[in-house]
Structures are given as structure tokens and as C-alpha cells.
Amino acid sequence: MLDPSGELVCLTVYRRGAREVARRLNAVGEGRVAGQARQPRE
């Protein structure tokens, strides 16, 4: 998997593993950690 700048961030053999990595990276990018929403900044 590559990040938006083209940097290699993950290499996985199994497609399902790649999907899980993508899901977790998207969660981090959306401000969620371990499935929980972060508190908004004030």
C-alpha cells in the first residue's frame, strides 16, 4: 500500500490483510482510533 505521497507504508501477501490495513489507515485519517471517535478540538 502507498500513502497519498507515494511512500510505501505496508506490504501484505493476502488481499484480506490489505483491506484490513486500508480500513485501519482510513480510520486514522478520519480521526478514529480503535473504532472510537476522537473528541473535537476546541
Give 21-39 pLDDT, tens digit per residue: 888 888 877 766 554 455 5
What pLDDT does 33 receive?
54
Domain spans of the chain, in order of start = 1-34
Q: Which residues of 7-38 are buried (b: 16+ CB within 10 A; e: fewer)?
A: eeeeeeeeeeeeeeeeeeeeeeeeeeeeeeee
Which one, of 37, 18, 19, 17, lies nearest residue 27 by Cα? 37
At position 33, the amino acid (one-letter code) is V
Work out the percent of the chain whose per-residue pLDDT is above 90: 0
